[in-house]
């Protein structure tokens, strides 16, 4: 369980030219070929990393949706053949849970949403992430910037 009442580590005016900017890649099996990404494998690692860095040093975040065995089973059993996604069949937290956590932080601490992408192969899951982030941005009168991207990667088995 992660405390959500602790303020994020950030400076009121982070000078992005002096701070090392970080790119965060959330995926349980893929590893980007571009080694400039900081890789996290699940929701807990994602939250722990973001809580340990200055919010203003986040360059961008790329989220996978399916993080674990039950999510992958749901993808292969329902999403791929039937184009249906039932979150009740998924026991671990997903990339959508990470997107929701980011929005909660932004609202709680009045923070700007960093640039967020999804690279998920799950078309419904990636659409859910994009919709959630972009609706938040739209309601905040910000440009809707969350898109699905392809990032060259290897796969760990």
pTM: 0.88
The model's pLDDT over 133-144, given as tens digits with 9 standing for 90+, comes to 999 999 999 999
Q: Give me the helix-helix angle, 43-52 and 95-109, nearest 10°.
A: 30
d(CA 118, CA 127): 9
What are 95-124's pLDDT values in tens digits?
999 999 999 999 999 999 999 999 999 999
| pLDDT band (50, 70, 90) for residue 73 | very high
Average pLDDT, the chain: 91
The SS3 of residue 32 is strand
Q: Name the E strands within the chain.
A: 22-26, 30-32, 37-40, 58-63, 115-118, 153-155
Decide the pairing of beta strands 22-26 and 37-40. Answer: parallel
Question: What is the structure's pLDDT at 11?
Answer: 43
pLDDT tens, residue by residue, 7-52: 555 443 445 455 699 999 999 999 999 999 999 999 999 999 999 9
Q: What integer pLDDT is reported at residue 56 of this predicted model?
A: 95
Looking at the chain, the whole-number percentage of residues with pLDDT higher than 70 is 87
3-state secondary structure of 98: helix
């Amino acid at each position: 369980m992660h405390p959500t009442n602790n303020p994020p580590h950030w400076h009121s005016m982070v000078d992005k030219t002096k701070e090392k900017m970080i790119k965060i890649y959330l995926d349980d099996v893929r590893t980007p070929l571009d080694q400039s990404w900081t890789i996290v494998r699940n929701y807990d690692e994602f939250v722990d990393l973001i809580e340990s860095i200055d919010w203003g040093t986040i360059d961008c975040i790329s989220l996978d949706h399916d993080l674990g065995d039950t999510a992958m089973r749901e993808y292969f059993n329902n999403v791929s053949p039937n184009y249906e996604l039932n979150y009740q069949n998924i026991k671990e937290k997903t990339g959508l849970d990470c997107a929701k956590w980011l929005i909660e932080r932004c609202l709680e601490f009045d923070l700007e949403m960093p640039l967020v992408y999804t690279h998920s192969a799950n078309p419904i899951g990636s659409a859910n992430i994009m919709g959630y982030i972009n609706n938040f941005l739209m309601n905040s009168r910000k440009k809707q910037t969350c898109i699905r991207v392809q990032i060259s990667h290897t796969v760990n088995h």
